[in-house]
Structure 1
Amino acid sequence: MTTTRLLSELDLLRSRAFPAAPERSGDLDSGPGFHVAALATSEDFWEADVERRETVEEQYEAERDGLAAVLTARWGEPDRMSLWSLHARGMEGEELPEPWGVLCAHVPDLVLWRVGGRWIGLGVSQWDKELPFRLLAVVTEVDPP
């Protein structure tokens, strides 16, 4: 992964129109007012040892932080948003708007900017300890709940 490639993919994502209905295409989930894209995906960890998994997690967090540094120079200091409380609220039955409802199930926190009426976020996702890590980019007009 190079920061230049990741930045290019994020800029393309920001320029895409939002669809009228939810849709999925490869590593892109979109819906009214949002896009969530995997900028990079690791291997899975079915046979990997704990040390390998931790190394990859650190690598993905470093990639997120490197891209965040470039975006901070562009847009200013981001917010850091923990999604834990949203996850708890969803588990208690609260209806959370997308993309927030799905994100909080597998992304612990986001680095988040408000740019031109949209939220732009970066996070590291992992649905379960055996599954791959994904560096996610979020572009949304939907305010965090």
Structure 2
Amino acid sequence: MSSRSVPFECHWQASRLLLAGYLLALLLAGAAVMISAVPVLFKGGLISLCLAHAAWTLPRRILLSHRSAWSGLRQDDGTWQLFSLERGWQPVQLRRDSLALPVAVILRYRLPGQWFARGLCIARDAMPVDEHRRLRVRLKFSRRRWAAPE
């Protein structure tokens, strides 16, 4: 399965489960702000921050409608790459805290030249079931999956 001669590539789309989870978390955050005992002006600022976060996150991470949204992953010759319309295929280093669960794949990665790691969630309804399974198996059993891109 992890042979270097067999390239692997998958693409995903927006997930309804991820959207529902994000909107639920946003609603709970808004409710917590509204019932808190802080001045009204401060509540307005916090609600504005929540809405600004949603405006940035929804097109880039949830709906995948922004040009910089990651929508594909491939592995060839031991190198992992992520795809976005804006940047094309970019080499990444997968991090050890990535998770491959039946419900979702939490992919933690670092771009070359950057100090911090980023993450993305690929829910089970974002791609066909067999492709999601293949991605989980590839992430669990591929050789050199934590190696830095060359």
Larger relative contact order (Cα-Cα within 8 Å, sequence gap ≥ 6): 1
- Return the structure number with greater helix share: 2
Q: TM over 0.5, yes or no?
A: no
Shorter-chain TM-score category? Answer: under 0.3
Q: TM-score under structure 1 normalisation?
A: 0.22
